[in-house]
Structure 1
């Protein structure tokens, strides 16, 4: 099968931005170590030579359609400063000239672009490069996830064995327990074990509510209390599902320019302009052997 690598590039960048690392400042006074570290990670033959490589950026903080659904969505995230915006704009240019499909916008998040890309690649073996639990809803027989920090692999079988759920249950699971990283509040009194047990028994949130509506008892400890919480907070559950379920219908193209000699010279020139020739020398050697 053809190969596709779909990268949550903003997550890669912020991993280095918030981690301890050396300070590298350009002649213009910009800190660029997170940019350098991200580029080092990106310059891999499997990405450059893949049939499709997508780099999805998050540019919708405060403007995503989910903020219209819930003004508190991601309220715990600070807006990017000039230093971050500068480096991400350069990272986008690098990705375009490396032959990647670059996806970003103010209405949708990186995960939505990744989900739409998966939907457009049914005949590819797809690797999602992220550690975002939301993306586990996209796992299939031809879609796996690889943690961009640990390189650990998640597939359908591992999700079933270690989490006890199928990919199509992830949206309901997170809707019940919430997601603190996105400032999504769960149903009070329902934790990981209870939510997992309910979904294993009843399949999905609709199955759970069918039992409650029939006045039958849920097969979990504290059934009466949990049922009342689910009744009282049904609107929260339904809203959470809209916040957590990824969009797969964004009008995008997965066509990119190939990484060729012009792309190589652009990368070389920009690296030289930033004063990063020495720390990026190994990657330039790799790229010199890969460009068409």
Structure 2
């Protein structure tokens, strides 16, 4: 594990997971469901208590309608339904709670949380600070540099660059190419029909990148792998799809106006108390948050 890393958290997945735990559903003081926010806060408390990070920041997603990837491909994430109002309410409570704890949290109207984290990671890598990239999304493994870790906290083994290679068959910088070849059902990104992650890894082990692959299509048929000629035909037929997908799978690292100082600040105790009251947390639970 790296020494004194900055912790970069892909927040939304840790809100969505407890959202789907529906029974029994706890309510706040006004009768609103708060299953997602309470589950998120358990995750945050455990991370803060166990890891004691000095630099930590949370990136959230906002609207699916305004993503820059929608401008490139209108069907991007079209398979996802908009968040219901009761979930939007809980997302805001999560963000308010982080603010009360003095923890950096942000979102962009035009970029996704992945891109915000990509921007932070690039900034930290430039000054030699290792990053703990906390997410359940394999897309973010592409950000893992020499001294960084991707970790679906509490669920999977932390993955350094070599761990990403062992898990997915490609190095972190090749993950966008692998996803472009295979497609990404979760984000409604088209790939080449008949090519999955394993086959995409084989192609990238040979050709290194989509760019090189597309410049050497005839060489695909010469590979010593089963169905090489078929693969050549598939890539040749779906070149336009592959180029489109490759634009969608790459994480941007130049999101404007993101916070730069990721150190934990002072807690806003009156705001923290008010939020605990809203969530019907006990006085003992409030004290735990004060001291975390």
Aligned to 1:129: 134
Residue 17 of structure 1 pairs with residue 13 of structure 2 = no
The TM-score with structure 2 as length reference comes to 0.90
Question: Deviation of residue 2 (structure 1)?
Answer: 3.6
Number of positions where the alignment pairs a residue of Structure 1 with one of Structure 2: 286
1:254 counterpart = 2:260: yes
Cross-structure match for 2:197: 192
TM-score normalised according to structure 1 size: 0.90
1:159 and 1:15 map into 2 onto residues whose CA distance is 23
Q: Is the 8 A contact 1:134 1:244 kept in 2?
A: yes
Q: Does structure 2 retain, via aligned residues, the 8 Å contact 1:129–1:145?
A: yes
The alpha carbon displacement at 1:74 in A equals: 0.5
| Of 181-190 and 154-163, the range deviating more from structure 2 | 154-163
**Superposition pairs for residues 67-146 of structure 1, below 5 Å?**
67-122=70-125, 123-146=128-151
Give SS of 1:7's match: strand
Q: Which deviations, in whole Å up to 9, do the C-alpha atoms of 1:61-114 show, x marking residues without a partner?
A: 121010111111101111011101111111111112212221202211111111
1:174 equivalent in alignment to 2:179: yes
Change (3 A) 1:48 1:263: farther
Looking at structure 1, the residues matched to 195 and 43 of structure 2 have their Cα atoms a distance apart, in angstroms, of 39
Aligned equivalent of 2:30, options 28, 32, 35: 28
Q: CA deviation at 1:120?
A: 0.8
CA 1:146 to 1:256, structure 2 compared with 1: closer, same or farther past 3 Å? closer
Structure 2 residue runs of 5 or longer lacking an equivalent are none
1:152 offset after TM fit, Å? 2.4
Residues 206 and 256 (structure 1), Cα distance of their counterparts in 2 relative to 1, 3 Å cut: closer
| Aligned pairs (5 A) from 1:232-247 | 232-247=237-252
Query: Relative to structure 1, is the Cα distance of residues 181 and 263 closer, same or farther in structure 2, using a 3 angstrom cutoff?
Result: same
Task: Extract unaligned runs of 5+ from structure 1.
Answer: none
Root mean square deviation, CA, Å: 2.2
Superposed, 1:159-170 pairs within 5 Å as 159-170=164-175
Instruction: Give the secondary structure class of the aligned counterpart of 1:24.
Output: coil
Alignment of 1:194-273 (within 5 A): 194-212=199-217, 217-251=222-256, 252-255=258-261, 258-260=264-266, 262-273=267-278
Residue pair 2:29, 2:278 contacting (<8 A) in 1 also: no
- Mapped to 2, the partners of 1:32 and 1:217 lie a distance apart of 57
What do the CA deviations read for 1:168-227 (whole angstroms, capped 9, x no partner)?
A: 111110000001111112101212232111111111112222321579634432222221
